[in-house]
Homo-oligomer: A and B are copies of this chain.
Amino acid sequence: MNTAITLRTHLGVLADFKPRLTEAQRRIKNVFLANIDPDIQAHFLNRMHSPRIVGLDSMNYWIHNKRKGLIKLLKKVDIYVANDQESRDLSGEHNLIKAAAKLRSLGPKFVLIKKGEHGVLLYSDKFVFSLPAWPAKKVIDPTGAGDTFAGGFMGYLARAGKANETALKNAIAYGTIAASFNIEGFGLSRTSSLTLRDLELRKKKFRECISF
């Protein structure tokens, strides 16, 4: 279940989506450009007043069909979030550390590579951070685990109000734990009933799982 195979991508209503933003929304400080046409992501980002931190997700469809637009957009992004296959596709490097280094050179200060059941890698010029996944015995449906990770990650950064090394590492731990609940049920069945206390408890156990 760790390898997603894309048989076909139907953009549907998102093909011509033009996000409209209120003045209040334009002042939001933490921005995550979820996976969509890089031109729409760029348009959206240009409408934002002065975001403090900008994360970006993409996917193979755009890497192959809108490569130039995506690469241009990466210069304006703080954190590029990609899975292992996307990292390899965009960088042309198989080794994930080399891939991350190459993606870093395209602009984003931080490159965050999601490796599914194998955890997460954060690459920056100053430090590299690596976490395994939560050792999950019960995997019902991994769909959305990457998005849940991104949600937990950005959510923590927004609450922390900063994105320094400590905050980023903790954000990754929260994202990892959020994703570990997502895979325990179909769709939102598990995450919809999740409380912050559930996250905190598992995060504590997770730290024990990886500390020596």
* Chain A residues proximal to chain B, CB less than 8 Å: 95-98, 101, 115, 117-119, 121, 127-133, 135-137, 139, 166, 169-170, 172-173, 207-212
Contact = CB atoms under 8 A, between A and B. Distances in A.
Please tell me how many copies of the chain the complex holds. Answer: 2
Given A118-B118, A121-B135, A137-B101, A128 B95 contact: no
16 contacts: A95-B137, A97-B136, A97-B137, A98-B137, A115-B118, A119-B119, A121-B132, A128-B209, A130-B132, A130-B133, A130-B135, A130-B209, A130-B210, A131-B210, A207-B212, A211-B211
Contacts of A132: 118-119, 121, 130-132
Contact of A139 (B95, B115, B129, B207): B95
Contacts of A130: 132-133, 135, 209-210
B207 A129 contact: no
Nearest to A123: B135
A137 B130 CA distance: 13
A209 B97 CA distance: 13
A128 B170 CA distance: 21
Nearest to A203: B212
A149 to B, nearest CB: 14
A172 B97 contact: no
A136 B97 CA distance: 7
Contacts of A212: 129, 131, 166, 169-170, 172-173, 207
A205 B207 CA distance: 17
A195 to B, nearest CB: 21
Given A119-B132, A129-B209, A130-B133, 15 more contacts: A95-B136, A95-B139, A96-B117, A115-B118, A128-B209, A129-B210, A129-B212, A130-B132, A130-B209, A130-B210, A132-B132, A166-B212, A169-B211, A207-B212, A211-B211
